[in-house]
């Protein structure tokens, strides 16, 4: 059997739009696979979309009640046996550092009464991991995988926002993160960002005022200003100050951005936070759900020369933090009833056993049940962070 490095080398040498074709050929040659299929999660995280040459692809499958969806949700391989056909289809998560991209499905022949060989399963798992890394890289140079994720057309504002995001989930030993935006195909002003170094995790959650392209342009300016300041090695307060100046310089106070900025110190769990607007923070600690009260400061870009002062608190292993935009709090039912804090707390409590990557989608689906199927008056964002802490033996 070829070494995994040979597979990775083949993928790196392939044209970006052909990496799945190369992987399919490798699996067919190694394991005499009957079919090999790549399914990518759509923008709403409700369907798994087949990758292929449009329109000649198979139908999408549900994330909620399908065999591929089970592998996607559990992030573990899932085998489905068809004994009369002497076949097993194994579904494997395609993920990179906790960012769940989709599922690789491989149908193989098995003897009567036989189970899938553990060595074959491990090789397929390595193939799925290698493919995930190459998909992320290939998306810089081909639209194939981005097109496959679309269950419907994105608005231009949504296109701009999705391209701005770092991913929808990530994980390290110290933490797990997940976030989602709705309506996924028509978002405009809400946004999130994160970046980690050896000892620090920076997180921002933003809600730009306005609608459509205007809101997307405002958010793009602010997020890139924050990234520019962060990458220059500036403090959290100075990051907020420079982003505030960039927005004010462009709009003169006529438009502004509500933002939460965090710096988590990974070795200790100490947190710096600047509350510059409306997104709110909830904490689940030892089963208790509570809203974290913060000192509100001016939104970015509202006034000239605003000075921002970080607050401090500490997260403990086992804590869950949720960052929620005002599109959730202000959502109205068809009868005009607001989504209450009590309903939100119940939603947080009902998802406490789910991993962080799944929580935002489930909470936003519950919000949709309250709001109904009509057009949303505002976009909504939920981000979930599970804090595990750094073990003493970690480097």
Average pLDDT on 83-96 reads 95
Q: Is the per-residue pLDDT at 48 higher than 80?
A: yes
- The predicted pLDDT at position 165 comes to 95
CA distance 29 to 196: 39
Question: Closest Cα partner for 104 from 139, 129, 86?
Answer: 129
Average pLDDT on 150-156 reads 94
- The predicted pLDDT at position 377 comes to 55
Which range is least confidently modeled, 38-42, 149-153, 196-200, 367-371? 367-371
Q: Is the per-residue pLDDT at 66 higher than 60?
A: yes
Q: Is the per-residue pLDDT at 335 higher than 70?
A: no
Q: What is the pLDDT confidence band of residue 373, given thresholds at 50, 70 and 90?
A: low
- The predicted pLDDT at position 112 comes to 80
- The predicted pLDDT at position 53 comes to 61
Q: Parallel, antiparallel, or unpaired for β 380-387 and 175-182?
A: antiparallel
Cβ-based neighbour number of residue 304 at 10 Å: 11
Q: What is the average pLDDT value for the chain, to the nearest integer?
A: 90
Segment 191-244, tens digit of pLDDT: 999 999 999 999 999 988 888 899 999 999 999 999 999 999 999 999 999 999
Instruction: Report whether 7 contacts 20 (CB < 8 A).
Output: no
Average pLDDT on 315-341 reads 77
Cα angle 15, 21, 22; round to 5 = 70
Instruction: Report whether 155 contacts 216 (CB < 8 A).
Output: no
Contacts of residue 332, defined as CB under 8 A and 6 or more positions apart, other chains included, come to 338, 339, 371, 377
pLDDT above 90 coverage of the chain, percent? 77
Q: Which residue reads 């759900």 in tokens?
A: 289
Question: Closest Cα partner for 204 from 189, 192, 220?
Answer: 192
- The predicted pLDDT at position 274 comes to 97
Instruction: Report whether 255 contacts 247 (CB < 8 A).
Output: yes
Contacts of residue 354, defined as CB under 8 A and 6 or more positions apart, other chains included, come to 362
Q: Is the per-residue pLDDT at 87 higher than 80?
A: yes
Which range is least confidently modeled, 161-170, 284-293, 342-351? 342-351
Instruction: Report whether 134 contacts 104 (CB < 8 A).
Output: no
pLDDT above 70 coverage of the chain, percent? 91
- To the question of pTM greater than 0.75 for the whole model, the response is yes
Q: Is the per-residue pLDDT at 3 higher than 60?
A: no
Q: Is the per-residue pLDDT at 59 higher than 90?
A: no
- The predicted pLDDT at position 56 comes to 47
Segment 246-266, tens digit of pLDDT: 999 999 999 999 999 999 999
What is the enclosing helix (H) or strand (E) of 38?
strand 35-41
């Amino acid at each position: 059997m070829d070494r995994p490095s040979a597979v990775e080398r083949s993928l790196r040498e392939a044209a970006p739009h052909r990496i799945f074709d190369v992987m399919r050929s490798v699996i067919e040659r190694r394991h005499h696979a009957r079919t090999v299929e790549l399914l990518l999660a759509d923008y709403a995280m409700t369907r798994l979309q087949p990758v292929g040459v449009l329109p000649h692809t198979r139908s999408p499958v549900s994330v909620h009640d399908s065999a591929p969806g089970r592998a996607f949700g559990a992030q573990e391989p899932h085998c489905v046996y068809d004994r009369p056909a002497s076949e097993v289809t194994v579904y494997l998560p395609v993920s990179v550092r906790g960012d769940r991209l989709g599922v690789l499905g491989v149908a193989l022949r098995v003897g009567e009464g036989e189970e899938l060989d553990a060595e074959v399963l491990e090789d397929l798992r390595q193939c799925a991991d290698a493919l995930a890394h190459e998909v992320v890289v290939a998306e810089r140079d081909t639209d194939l995988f981005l097109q496959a994720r679309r269950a419907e057309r994105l608005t231009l504002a949504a296109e701009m926002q999705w391209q701005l995001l770092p991913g929808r989930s990530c994980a390290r030993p110290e933490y797990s993160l997940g976030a989602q935006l709705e309506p996924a195909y028509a978002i405009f002003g809400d946004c999130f960002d994160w970046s980690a170094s050896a000892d620090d995790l920076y997180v921002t959650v933003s809600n730009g005022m306005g609608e459509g392209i205007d809101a997307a342009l405002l958010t793009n300016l602010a997020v890139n200003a924050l990234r520019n300041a962060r990458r220059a090695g500036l403090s959290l307060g100075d990051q907020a100050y420079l982003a505030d100046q960039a927005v004010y310089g462009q709009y003169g106070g006529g438009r502004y951005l509500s933002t939460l900025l965090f710096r988590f110190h990974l070795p200790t769990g100490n947190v710096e936070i600047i509350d510059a607007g409306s997104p709110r923070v909830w904490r689940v600690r030892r089963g208790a759900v509570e809203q974290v009260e913060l000192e509100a400061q001016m939104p970015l870009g509202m006034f000239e020369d605003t000075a921002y002062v970080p607050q401090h608190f500490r997260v403990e292993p086992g804590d869950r933090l949720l960052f929620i935009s005002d599109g959730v709090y202000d959502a109205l039912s068809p009868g005009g009833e607001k989504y209450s804090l009590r309903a939100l707390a119940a939603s947080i409590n009902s998802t406490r056993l789910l991993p962080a990557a799944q929580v935002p989608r489930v909470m936003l689906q519950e919000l949709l049940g309250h709001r109904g199927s009509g057009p949303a008056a505002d976009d909504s964002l939920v981000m979930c962070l599970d804090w595990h802490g750094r073990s003493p033996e970690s480097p």
